[in-house]
Amino acid sequence: MGRYASYKEYGESSWRIGYGSLKIKKRVVSSTDKLGSEEIGNLLVEDLKPFSLLVNAYVLIPLNEHRKSAVLSFAHSIGIPSFKECRLLELINSGATKQAIIQEWSPYINTIWRSGGERMINRRRAELDTFLTADKQIPTALPHRCHSKHCLMNIPELYTGTMPQIKAIEYLEKRFMEFDPSGEILRRFFRMWNEKPRGLSSPPPPKSSF
């Protein structure tokens, strides 16, 4: 009927509802509670407000909105105690390469995620895709004036936002536009740079029956 009942996680004594909420409007979830999809969604938003502050305390580098969302989903999935000790957080904070992050996050490479079944696989893949989504609003330590619609700041690799790096990117943008005012070369470069490494985040090919 479009309503969802409360439940207990394995080994827990507390009742939860929806995406794991323990409270409904400041009262503890009971065994008889049932909520609709919209109410469950609202609970999740409220739960994530204090949770996001905890996550931010362990992420030591600036992230754009897509990456924040992906990391928040991942942390919410495994819990703060596991998140603060996990290999993925270590990679993100150390500015690891795109390939290294994919190898750790992809459910088709890191087999630990497959043990959670299809729902876990789909969640990990959605988080990884969100993390790698291009976003022009990448935070930097210094203001950056874009010379083109497709800004070279918008690259998948994590960066520091330091003055030498920003100046180098502005110089590259300027030279690209001088060489090709149409911007086609820059757009092509941008697309190629943002391509996912082939074979890393895709499901493995089906096994032959022969």
For the ranges 21-30, 64-73, 122-131, 196-205, the lowest mean pLDDT is seen at 196-205
Residue 162 has pLDDT above 80, yes or no: no
Helix H or strand E segment including 74: helix 65-78
Q: Which residue has the higher pLDDT, 23 or 139?
A: 23
In whole angstroms, give the CA distance from residue 169 to residue 160. 12
Same domain, 97 and 142: no
- The model carries a pTM of 0.59
> Which two tokens mark 81?
């105690």
Structural domain boundaries, residue 122: 59-133
In-domain check, residue 9: yes
Pick from 37-51, 73-87, 193-207: least confident: 193-207
The reported pLDDT for the residue numbered 59 is 94
Residues 121 and 173 in one domain: no
Do 73 and 113 fall within a single domain? yes
* Residue 100, SS3 per DSSP: helix
pLDDT at position 175: 79
